[in-house]
A and B are shown apart, each in its own frame.
Chain A
C-alpha cells in the first residue's frame, strides 16, 4: 500500500464542486392573498405563501419538520369559491387562488377552535395558544364551568360508541391526573390538544419507534401506548422527540416538571446555547437551556440538516454528568 501515492496525498480538488442531481425548477404560481398579488413556487403551501408576505398565520399542529396533519384547524383561511375554509398548513397553492386570511369567517373559526381548546384543555403551559386566544378574542368560559377531572386511567379505558349523555351543566374536559412513570419525562394529558405531533415524531417523521398512537375515538381520542401500558413497559426509547414537538407542555422533561412544581422554573433566567452532542459521531446540534449554571433542558434546532430537530436519549438526557459532583470533586486540582 505504501507505494500507492493516493494514500499519502489528499486527492486533488475536483474541477467542479459536487452537487446533488439537478431538480427541475418548480413552476411558479400567481395568487392573491388579502388583496396582494404574490408569486410563489408551485410546491409551496398557502402557509408558506402567507409567510412570504409577512402574514402571521396561527398554527398549533404544524411544525416544519413534520408532515402536516391539518387537524387543529386554527390555520384555516378563506378561499374564494370553496365551500369550506381550507387549512393553510397543508393546502398547496394553485394558480389564481384568491385567499383571505382575516375575514370574519376566518376569525370566527379561529376564535371557536381556541375556545374549544381553551374550554376542554389546560393551556396554562401553552403560551402560543394563549397568545392566539387573546388575538382572536376567545372566551372559553361561555361553555359553562368545567366538568370535574376524570380519574386515573378513566379516559384511557373509554370505548368508542355510546357515551354517557351529559346534562349540559358542565363543559366536558380532558382533565386527568399527570402520568409520572419514569425519571426522564412526564405526560400530562390534561394539557393535550391532540395535535398528533408526538405521534408523528415517534413514528415515520423521525424516530420510527411507534411507541404511541392515537387511540379511542371522538372526544375520547387520546395518545396511548400499546394497551395503555406505562412508558417503561412500552416500546418507548426515550428520545424525547415527542417533548421536542409538544406545543402545550403536555409532554415535559421531568426536570422541568419538578422545577415548575417547586416554583423554580424561570425562563427569563435561562440562556440557550447551541453546541454539539458529546456522544457518537453523528454530530447532532444540542440547544442547552441553562438556568443558574445548570442544564435544565435540551432541545435541537429545526433548521439544522443533521437533526431536523430530533435527538436520541443520550443527546436529550445524557447531560447530567457535567453536573455530577462526585467524580468531579475527586478529580481536584493537582490531586
Chain B
C-alpha cells in the first residue's frame, strides 16, 4: 500500500519491543533497513502478503505498551510499516482500548476498580488514599478502572509495571499498603491454591463437576490434570467422531453460558456443516461484565479444562485453529493459559496430529486491551483481526461469517469447560442434571454484601434465596435492599422477588435475566442511586460509539440519572421517567449489539420498582 508516514522515527528500543513479537523485518519496504542490494529492483514482502498481517496489530501494541507504559508515535509508525497498516487506522485502534495510551505515562500504573462490587467494598476510600500518596489521577500513577473481575475479593486493583521485564499483578482484596508495598518491592505473588480456595467457597466438595479441580490440583501441571481425569473426554470424543460429539452436545441441551443462552450444539452443527474453509474456534475469555469473575477463576484454577474443551470443539467442527481471547486485565489467567497451551502442545495434545488421532488443532492466545465491548463476539473478532472492537451487524452470524470472515464457533469459557463433562457423561446423562429447560450445572458469581462471596456451582433450579443463603446470607443482620442479576446488562430484583428460580425459564418468567450468572447483593445501607449512576457511567464509557442509539443514548441516560440525583429534573420526575423509557426503548430496539440493547435494563428495572433515588434526597 502507498502508506504515508510522517511521524518520528522509532528508537532502537521501540523497534526491539515490536520485533520481540513480530520477529526481525524481512523487507526494507516493510520496516526494515534500506537494502538496495537485494531490494533495489524488487520488494521482498508486498501486496496481499504484506497486507495480511493486520491481526498482529494488538500483540505488537501490547509489546510496546508493556515495554514503555505508553505507545510512542515512533513505535506506532514502525508497527504500521511492519504490518502495512495505515497509521490513521492504527491511531483509531490505539485510542479505542483503554489499556493503551498515546500520551507518555509513568511506567508503573495502578488501575483501581471503582465498579459496582468494589464500590460497596471501599473502592472510593482506596482511591482517596492513592490520590493522597500518588497524586491526582491525571498524573497517571493510578487510574480508575471498570470492573476488574475480582468482585469476590473486592476491592480490586491491577498493578501494571512497564519495562524490559514488564509485570502485571492483580491485587484483591487490594489495600493501600499492599499497593504501595508492591510498588516498592516489585514482588509478584502467584499462589496456586490459597486465593483460588477463597474464590471457590465450595472447594473440596466432591460433588463439584466444573469446579472440582480448582484449589485442589496444581493448575500449572498437565500431569495433575490428567491424573484427575483430564483429557479422557478428548479421547472419548475421538472415539465418537466429530458427528458423534455434536450429537452428544445437541442431546445435552447445553445453552451458552456467556449470557445469550444459545444452544451450543446447534452452533457447532452449523459451523461443522459450513462449506467455507477454514473454520475457527474462538474462546471468549473477555469476561468484563461487572460482577462476573467465574471465567477468571476457571482459567486460573483449571486452565487445561479450557484447552480440552476448545480442542474437542475444534475436532467436532472441523477447525484447525482456535483463538483464546483473554481480557487484558487478567494477568494470572493469561499466564496460566499460556503455560497450559505450551504444555499441551509439548505433550501432543495441541498441534498437528493431536493424540495421534490424525487431526490438527492449535490454540493462540490473544490479549484484550481494555474494552468491555470486546466481549461481544463480533467485536471480539474485529479485535483479534487488529481492528477497533466495534460489533458487526448480525446477520450474517459468526457460524457463517465469523473470524476473518470464515465460519466460526465462539463459546464462552464456562461453556467450554462443560464440554468434557458432556462427553464424559453423555449428552443425555448431562441433560438429566438441572431442569428440563436448563440442563447441567451452572456457575454463579455471588458478590456484594454476602458473607462468603465467590463462584458457586449449583445445578440449575436453585432459587435466588437459597443461593444467597449458600453464600452465607447478608452479614451483620442487615436486610437485602436489592440484587443485581446478570450484571450491569442485567436487572435489579427487589426483596419481594428473591424466590425466583435461577433457570433460563424461571428468570424469563419473572421478567429478569440470568445473563452471565452475576448475583450482586446489596444490603439496605447501599445508595442505589450511586450504583445506578455508576452503571450509567459504565455504559457511556464502554459504548463503542458506533451506532447513534447507544453512543448518544448512554450519554442522555447518564445525564438523566444525574438530574434525578441532583433533584433538578427537566419537567417533573414523571417526565424524566417517561423520557428514560423512550431512551431505553430506542437503545433496546435500534442498537447494533447487546451492549446498547441492554444498557438501560438495570436502570429501568430499578426505577420501576425500587425507588433508588428517592425524591427530595438530593445526593449533591
Name A residues whose Cβ lies closer than 8 Å to a Cβ of B.
69-74, 76, 84-85, 87, 90-92, 105, 108-109, 112-113, 116-117, 119-120, 142-144, 159-163, 165-169, 171-172, 193-194, 203, 208-221, 224-229, 233-235
Q: Which residues of B contact A225 (CB under 8 A)?
A: 88, 91
Q: Does B96 contact A216, Cβ atoms closer than 8 Å?
A: yes
List 4 other contacts, CB 8 Å, given A159-B101, A210-B88, A218-B542: A160-B96, A162-B145, A215-B95, A226-B90
Q: Does A165 contact B562, Cβ atoms closer than 8 Å?
A: yes
How many residues on B have C-beta within 8 angstroms of the other chain's C-beta atoms?
A: 72
Q: Does A218 contact B540, Cβ atoms closer than 8 Å?
A: yes
| Least distance between B391 CB and chain A CB atoms (Å) | 11
Q: Does B88 contact A217, Cβ atoms closer than 8 Å?
A: no
Q: Which residues of B contact A213 (CB under 8 A)?
A: 86, 88-89, 91-92
Q: Which residues of B contact A70 (CB under 8 A)?
A: 393, 547, 592
| Of the residues B88, B101, B540, B553, contact of A163 by C-beta under 8 Å | B540
Q: Residues 83-106 of chain B: 1 if any A CB is under 8 Å from the residue's CB, otherwise 0? A: 000111111100111100111000
Q: Which residues of B contact A112 (CB under 8 A)?
A: 549, 553, 582-583, 585-586, 590
Q: In this assembly, does B552 line the interface, its C-beta being within 8 Å of a C-beta of chain A?
A: yes
Q: Residues 538-579 of chain B: 1 if any A CB is under 8 Å from the residue's CB, otherwise 0? A: 001111111111011111101111111110101000000001
| Of the residues A116, A159, A166, contact of B95 by C-beta under 8 Å | A159
A145 nearest in chain B by CB position: B570
Q: Residues 512-550 of chain B: 1 if any A CB is under 8 Å from the residue's CB, otherwise 0? A: 000000000000000000000100010011111111110
Q: In this assembly, does B41 line the interface, its C-beta being within 8 Å of a C-beta of chain A?
A: no
Candidate in B96, B144, B554, B568 with the most chain A CB atoms within 10 angstroms = B96
B586 nearest in chain A by CB position: A112
Q: Does A212 contact B588, Cβ atoms closer than 8 Å?
A: no
- Kindly state the separation between the CA atoms of A215 and B601 in the bound complex, as whole angstroms: 28
Q: Which residues of B contact A219 (CB under 8 A)?
A: 540, 543, 545, 551-552, 554-555
| Of the residues B1, B92, B588, contact of A214 by C-beta under 8 Å | B92
| Interchain residue pairs with CB less than 8 A apart (12) | A71-B548, A72-B547, A120-B555, A161-B145, A165-B558, A167-B566, A209-B4, A211-B88, A213-B86, A217-B371, A221-B546, A225-B88
Beyond A72-B548, A113-B590, A194-B545, whether A168 also contacts B561 by CB under 8 A is yes
Candidate in B4, B102, B588, B591 with the most chain A CB atoms within 10 angstroms = B4
Q: Which residues of A contact B551 (CB under 8 A)?
A: 116, 194, 218-219, 221
Beyond A108-B582, A229-B6, A234-B6, whether A217 also contacts B91 by CB under 8 A is no
Task: Find residues 123-174 in chain B having any chain A CB closer than 8 Å to their own CB.
Answer: 143-146
A89 nearest in chain B by CB position: B393
Q: Does A168 contact B562, Cβ atoms closer than 8 Å?
A: yes
A237 nearest in chain B by CB position: B4
| Least distance between A46 CB and chain B CB atoms (Å) | 12
B553 nearest in chain A by CB position: A116
Q: In this assembly, does B7 line the interface, its C-beta being within 8 Å of a C-beta of chain A?
A: yes
Candidate in A160, A171, A209 with the most chain B CB atoms within 10 angstroms = A160
The 3 A-B pairs of least Cβ separation, nearest first, read: A221-B545, A210-B86, A235-B4
| Of the residues B370, B395, B592, contact of A161 by C-beta under 8 Å | B370
- Kindly state the separation between the CA atoms of A194 and B88 in the bound complex, as whole angstroms: 16
| Least distance between B120 CB and chain A CB atoms (Å) | 18
Q: Does A113 contact B548, Cβ atoms closer than 8 Å?
A: yes
| Of the residues A71, A142, A229, contact of B547 by C-beta under 8 Å | A71
Q: Which residues of B contact A163 (CB under 8 A)?
A: 537, 540-541
Q: Does A168 contact B95, Cβ atoms closer than 8 Å?
A: no
Task: Find residues 242-259 in chain B having any chain A CB closer than 8 Å to their own CB.
Answer: none
Q: Which residues of B contact A84 (CB under 8 A)?
A: 588-591, 597
| Least distance between B112 CB and chain A CB atoms (Å) | 11
Q: In this assembly, does B76 line the interface, its C-beta being within 8 Å of a C-beta of chain A?
A: yes
| Least distance between A335 CB and chain B CB atoms (Å) | 45
- Kindly state the separation between the CA atoms of A142 and B388 in the bound complex, as whole angstroms: 33
| Least distance between B306 CB and chain A CB atoms (Å) | 28
| Of the residues A91, A193, A228, contact of B91 by C-beta under 8 Å | A228
B114 nearest in chain A by CB position: A162
Q: Which residues of A contact B88 (CB under 8 A)?
A: 210-213, 224-226, 234-235
- Kindly state the separation between the CA atoms of A161 and B542 in the bound complex, as whole angstroms: 7
- Kindly state the separation between the CA atoms of A170 and B549 in the bound complex, as whole angstroms: 19
Q: In this assembly, does B620 line the interface, its C-beta being within 8 Å of a C-beta of chain A?
A: yes
- Kindly state the separation between the CA atoms of A225 and B6 in the bound complex, as whole angstroms: 11
- Kindly state the separation between the CA atoms of A163 and B533 in the bound complex, as whole angstroms: 13
Q: In this assembly, does B73 line the interface, its C-beta being within 8 Å of a C-beta of chain A?
A: yes
Q: Does B553 contact A169, Cβ atoms closer than 8 Å?
A: no
| Of the residues B145, B543, B549, B562, contact of A73 by C-beta under 8 Å | B549
Q: Which residues of A contact B4 (CB under 8 A)?
A: 209, 211, 234-235
Q: In this assembly, does B224 line the interface, its C-beta being within 8 Å of a C-beta of chain A?
A: no
Q: Which residues of A contact B145 (CB under 8 A)?
A: 161-162
Candidate in B7, B541, B562 with the most chain A CB atoms within 10 angstroms = B541
- Kindly state the separation between the CA atoms of A70 and B548 in the bound complex, as whole angstroms: 10
Q: Which residues of B contact A105 (CB under 8 A)?
A: 585, 589
Candidate in A117, A119, A161, A220 with the most chain B CB atoms within 10 angstroms = A161
| Least distance between A195 CB and chain B CB atoms (Å) | 9
Q: Which residues of B contact A142 (CB under 8 A)?
A: 570, 579
Q: Which residues of A contact B545 (CB under 8 A)?
A: 194, 214, 216-221
B564 nearest in chain A by CB position: A168
Q: Which residues of A contact B585 (CB under 8 A)?
A: 105, 108-109, 112
- Kindly state the separation between the CA atoms of A108 and B388 in the bound complex, as whole angstroms: 30
Q: Residues 583-611 of chain B: 1 if any A CB is under 8 Å from the residue's CB, otherwise 0? A: 10110111110000100000000000000
| Least distance between A71 CB and chain B CB atoms (Å) | 5
Q: Does B566 contact A168, Cβ atoms closer than 8 Å?
A: yes
Q: Does A160 contact B95, Cβ atoms closer than 8 Å?
A: yes
Q: In this assembly, does B3 line the interface, its C-beta being within 8 Å of a C-beta of chain A?
A: yes
Beyond A161-B146, A163-B537, A226-B7, whether A87 also contacts B86 by CB under 8 A is no
Beyond A120-B552, A193-B548, whether A144 also contacts B570 by CB under 8 A is yes
- Kindly state the separation between the CA atoms of A91 and B566 in the bound complex, as whole angstroms: 43
- Kindly state the separation between the CA atoms of A140 and B542 in the bound complex, as whole angstroms: 24
Beyond A112-B549, A144-B570, A216-B95, whether A172 also contacts B555 by CB under 8 A is yes
Q: Does A160 contact B98, Cβ atoms closer than 8 Å?
A: yes
| Of the residues A109, A143, A165, contact of B590 by C-beta under 8 Å | A109
- Kindly state the separation between the CA atoms of A117 and B552 in the bound complex, as whole angstroms: 8
- Kindly state the separation between the CA atoms of A169 and B472 in the bound complex, as whole angstroms: 43
| Of the residues A193, A227, A235, contact of B76 by C-beta under 8 Å | A227
Beyond A72-B548, A219-B545, whether A160 also contacts B370 by CB under 8 A is yes
Task: Find residues 370-411 in chain B having any chain A CB closer than 8 Å to their own CB.
Answer: 370-371, 388, 393, 395
| Least distance between B332 CB and chain A CB atoms (Å) | 22
Q: Does B586 contact A233, Cβ atoms closer than 8 Å?
A: no
Q: Does A76 contact B589, Cβ atoms closer than 8 Å?
A: yes
Q: Does B552 contact A116, Cβ atoms closer than 8 Å?
A: yes
Q: Which residues of A contact B7 (CB under 8 A)?
A: 226-227
- Kindly state the separation between the CA atoms of A183 and B566 in the bound complex, as whole angstroms: 48
| Least distance between B210 CB and chain A CB atoms (Å) | 30
Q: Does A160 contact B97, Cβ atoms closer than 8 Å?
A: yes
- Kindly state the separation between the CA atoms of A70 and B558 in the bound complex, as whole angstroms: 25
Beyond A168-B566, A217-B545, whether A235 also contacts B3 by CB under 8 A is yes
A76 nearest in chain B by CB position: B590
Q: Does B548 contact A162, Cβ atoms closer than 8 Å?
A: no
Q: Which residues of B contact A73 (CB under 8 A)?
A: 547-549, 590-592
- Kindly state the separation between the CA atoms of A163 and B545 in the bound complex, as whole angstroms: 14
Q: Residues 284-314 of chain B: 1 if any A CB is under 8 Å from the residue's CB, otherwise 0? A: 0000000000000000000000000000000
Q: Does A226 contact B87, Cβ atoms closer than 8 Å?
A: yes
- Kindly state the separation between the CA atoms of A166 and B541 in the bound complex, as whole angstroms: 13
- Kindly state the separation between the CA atoms of A218 and B561 in the bound complex, as whole angstroms: 18
Q: Which residues of B contact A162 (CB under 8 A)?
A: 143-146, 537, 541
- Kindly state the separation between the CA atoms of A225 and B87 in the bound complex, as whole angstroms: 8
- Kindly state the separation between the CA atoms of A142 and B578 in the bound complex, as whole angstroms: 12
Q: Which residues of B contact A109 (CB under 8 A)?
A: 549, 585-586, 589-590
